[in-house]
Structure 1
Amino acid sequence: MEQIIIRKAALSDLDILLQFEQGVVEAERPFNPTLNITGVNYYNIYELITAPHIEMLVAVSGDEVVGSGYARIENAKPYLKFDRYAYLGFMYVAPSHRGKGVNKAILAGLTSWSKAQGITELRLEVYLENDIAVKAYEKAGFTKLYAQMRREI
């Protein structure tokens, strides 16, 4: 079994992370008919790497970056029983490395960092129709909370 190393992302990872971002967009395109056909960028990757309230991690196999994910500390709504939470995003694993525990390792790293920041709640968004991702997050201990709905008029 290959060894996967989880480390903090560096600015030198920018090119591969830009490729991963487009991988996320293409993976989500079938679930979201409102995405533009071209020019879709979800993230400010420079900020994800450099901001102190964000932990951007990458998974490395040998010399190859094969996965990514971040935890961003957010202020919670005043009616919730916690003040802050960590929002997880940019969860991506290169197709050739899926099913090898890469996402699990990234989640573990983000969870450890979040706990060290005094965070007790993790949140993320996933398309409900993305059965593979939903099952993976449920296996990692996440539960469904609500569904965002839309209607074109």
Structure 2
Amino acid sequence: PVLDVATAQPVSFFPAGAEIYAQGEKAGALYQVEFGAVRIYRLLADGRRQISAFHLAGETFGFEADATHHFFAEAINATGVRVFRAPSGMDMSRQLLPLALKGLTRAQEHLLVLGRQNAIERVAAFLVEMSERQGGLRQVELPMSRNDIGDYL
């Protein structure tokens, strides 16, 4: 896995609502959710919030195409995050490609949900996705609020 060759920092604790990183900040690390959940979002010009992703325990986020974060990352509930930094000068492109492709696939599927489904279908697709990400459980844990889900869908 990609994180095996990176230098891991100790787990950082973030209380509910705490910012992990801000839009415009320097990027360069990857983040793995140890416990809890994270929302990735952007504030729109009119003040509304658009959530682009949720990350659950075991998932990695913070991957950027350049040296700047383009979104905010915030803890949804009490969350532990481990930061991974690549050793300087090391080419990590081979290890990052699978992570980038997984993120791209998830983003493409989310675009289809937003663009081609009515409200009930969007909620159903969201619940199915959350179930699959939690191992196909019949009872799904939703750490995010209804407002979060609305801003995502």
The verdict on a shared fold, with TM-score over 0.5 as the criterion, is no
